[in-house]
Amino acid sequence: MIFNNLTPEQIRAVREEGHVLLSACPGSGKTKTIIHKLAYEVSQLDDTSKKKAIAVTFTVRASEEIFKRLERMGIDSKKVWSGTLHSFCLEWIIKPYSCYLTDLQNGYTIADEALTSSLLNDLKGSYKLEPFDNINTRFERDGSFTESDALKIRLLTDYHMELKRKKLIDFDILLYYSFKLLRNYPEISKVLSNLLHLICVDEYQDTQDLSYAILCSIVNASDGTTSLFLAGDVDQAIYHSFGGIAKSKKEIETELNGEEVKHLPLTGNFRSTQRIIDFYHSFQSIGIPIIATGVNENVQGVITYNNTIHKDSLVTEVARLIQDNLDKNVSENEICILVPQWWLITTIARQLQTILPNTSFDASGIVPMSKNKDNFWYKLSRLFLTEPSPNIYALRYQWARELMDKYYEHTGNIFVEPHNSERNILRLVNSISSDETEAVPYLKECFNKFLMQLGLNIVNFETLKDSWEAYFESIDRRLNDSSYDVPSDVISFKNLYKERGGVVINTCVGIKGEEFETVIAFGLLKGYIPHWNEIMSRNVNELEVSRKLLYVICSRAKQNLHLISESGRTTRRGVELENTPLLINKNYNYD
C-alpha cells in the first residue's frame, strides 16, 4: 500500500536509508513522497517503540495537509508529528526545558505577529524610520543580531527590552533560545534523538541557519539512529528576506559532522503542460530538464502577457479572464488570482464579486486573528469556526487534543467528566451556538458558554486571562487597520477554515505549493516583483529574487497562464513602476 502509485524515483527516495537531500522540481510529487516516507519509516518501527517520525513544514496548512493524508492512509497518528519549526521548538524544546534559561524561568508568552509588528512600527517612528523600512529581527548562532545597520540595532535593543519587560518572546527569540538550550545542554539533544526516528524537512530551501543548527544538533546526538530527510527546490527559494538558506549537500554534510547525505532527484512534472514548463525553464538557475508526465502533458493551453492595460481597467480584464475560463468549464476552485502584495487581496475580491456576482471567491489569504497558534483561545476558535464534517474529523480531533494539553498548561488541571476526552470536547463544542453575525461577539459568546459548561472562571488563572486579552486585542488591531481591509463578519472568519472553494485570491508567497488549472497574475512590476525591500537590500540580487518569484508564479499553472504588468502604478513619490525586467525582456510568442 505504501508504494502504490509511486514512481521509481519516489520509491527510491522513500526506501533510501540514512540522510537524504531530495531535489524536487514543481509538480513532481514532493509532498506525496514526504507523506509516504513518513508512513514507510513508521511501518519499520516496532509496535512497542516510542519513537516518532516527524515532518517540519514551512506553513501550518502544509503540516495539516500531511496529517490529514496520513490519517486517510490509516497511519497511526501517535507515531507521527507534523508542524512548523516554531511549533516544533516550542513543543519539544522550550516548554519542557525553559526552566534551564534564566530569561524564561519566571514565565513567558509567545508574542503574536500583530503585536510585534505594532511595537516595531512604534519604534520606527521614534528612530525616524519609515513604516516600510525592513527590520531584521533574526539572531546569529552567537546571539548577535543578524541586522547590520547600527541605527536598527539600537532599535532592536529597545524592542527586546520591551519584550523582556512584558515577558514576551517572538518567533526569532524562540529559535535562538531553542538553539541555546541544545548548545548549552547537549543532553537535551540526546533525549530528543532517542525520541525521533526520522526528521523530514519540507521546503528546506527556505530554512533559516538556526533551523539547520537546531535539527542537525538533534541528529548528531543520535549516533546514527535519527535520519534527516530534506526536500525542496532551490529555484523556489523565495524567503531569503526571512532568512531562508538553500544549503548545499556539502554544507549540510558539514552540519552533520561529515556524515554522508545522498542527493536524489524528482524530475517528472505531473502538473503542467510541457509548454508551460518550457516557458518557465528560463527562470531556472540550474537548468535541469523538467519533463511533463501527467494528464496535461500534451495539452496546448494558453499563455498570455498583457503589459499595456492600465490599472484602472485591471479588475475588468481579470473578471473577463475568469469568465472566459468558466465558460470553458474550468471550475472556480481551479482558477487562481495572484496579487503582488497582501493588502490587495480583499480589495480586489470585493471588486470582482461586484462584477461577477454569481461567482464564488476564496480570499482567505488575509488572516484576521493572531497567528500565534499556541494561544489557547486561537486553538478553541478553530473548533467553533469549523463545521462538524467527516472530512475534517481527524483534524478537529487533533485540535481538541491540543486544546486539552494547553488547558493543563494554564490551569494544572485536566478536563473532567463528562468532558475528559477529545470526542467529548468536540461534542460540547458542537452543542454550543450563537446568533451573533459579527465574529468577535460570536466568539466571545461561544467561549463564555464553553467556560460555563466547564465551570471555569478564567479570572482565577492569570495566564488564561492574559491570553484571552492578547487574542482579542490582535483581532481588534487587524480589524481597525485600514491597510488590511479585513471583513469582520463570522461567515468570513469561518471561510478561513473551509475546504478551498471559489476562485482563489492570494499572493505568490501565500500560494506556494498549490496548483491550479488557470493562474492569472498581475502587478508584475519592479517594486512588487520583487518588492522594494528586496531591491533596496544590499544582501540580495534583485534579478535573482525576481527570477525565483516568476518561477514560482508560472509553475503553479497546469494549463493556462495569464501574466499582467499593468501601467499606472506609482511609487510614493509619483514615479511610475517599470515592468519586471526579466519578463519584459523575455522573447516569447504569446497567445
DSSP labels, 32-57:
HHHHHHHHHHHHTS-TT---EEEEEE
pLDDT in tens, the chain (591 residues): 678 889 999 999 999 999 999 999 999 999 999 999 999 999 988 888 889 999 999 887 788 888 888 878 877 777 899 999 999 999 999 999 999 999 998 888 888 776 788 789 889 999 999 877 888 999 999 999 999 899 999 999 999 999 998 888 999 999 999 999 999 999 999 999 999 999 999 999 999 999 999 999 999 999 999 999 999 999 888 877 667 889 999 999 999 999 999 999 998 899 999 999 999 988 988 767 888 998 898 899 999 999 999 999 999 999 999 999 999 999 999 999 999 887 788 789 889 989 999 998 887 655 666 556 778 898 899 999 988 888 788 788 888 988 988 888 778 777 878 888 899 999 999 999 999 999 999 999 999 999 999 888 888 888 788 788 888 888 887 788 766 667 788 888 887 777 667 899 988 877 878 899 999 999 999 888 876 666 555 556 778 888 899 999 999 999 999 999 999 998 878 889 889 888 888 889 999
Report the CATH number of the 8-92+178-266 domain.
3.40.50.300
Per DSSP bridges, beta strands 291-292 and 302-306 are unpaired
8-92+178-266 matches 274-364+498-584 in fold: yes
Cα–Cα distance for residue pair 54/75, rounded to 1 Å: 13
Bridge partners of residue 263, in order along the sequence: 21
Are residues 364 and 495 in contact, defined by beta-carbon separation less than 8 angstroms? yes
Cα–Cα distance for residue pair 99/514, rounded to 1 Å: 40
DSSP 416: P
Indicate the residue type of 121: N
Exposure b/e, 495-524, CB count within 10 A at least 16 = b:
bbbbeeebbbbbbbbbbbbebbbbbbbbbb
Cα–Cα distance for residue pair 219/259, rounded to 1 Å: 10
C-alpha separations of 56 from 135, 406, 471 in Å: 26, 21, 25
C-alpha separations of 257 from 131, 213, 249, 281 in Å: 43, 12, 13, 35
Burial of 358 (C-beta count, 10 Å sphere; 0-12/13-18/19+): exposed
CATH topology for 274-364+498-584 is Rossmann fold (3.40.50)
C-alpha cell at 548: 525565483
Query: Would you kindly state where each structural domain of the chain is located, as residue ranges?
Result: 8-92+178-266, 112-164, 274-364+498-584, 376-494
Smallest Cα–Cα separation from 305: which of 524, 516, 509, 545?
524
Smallest Cα–Cα separation from 266: which of 6, 466, 87?
6
Indicate the residue type of 405: D
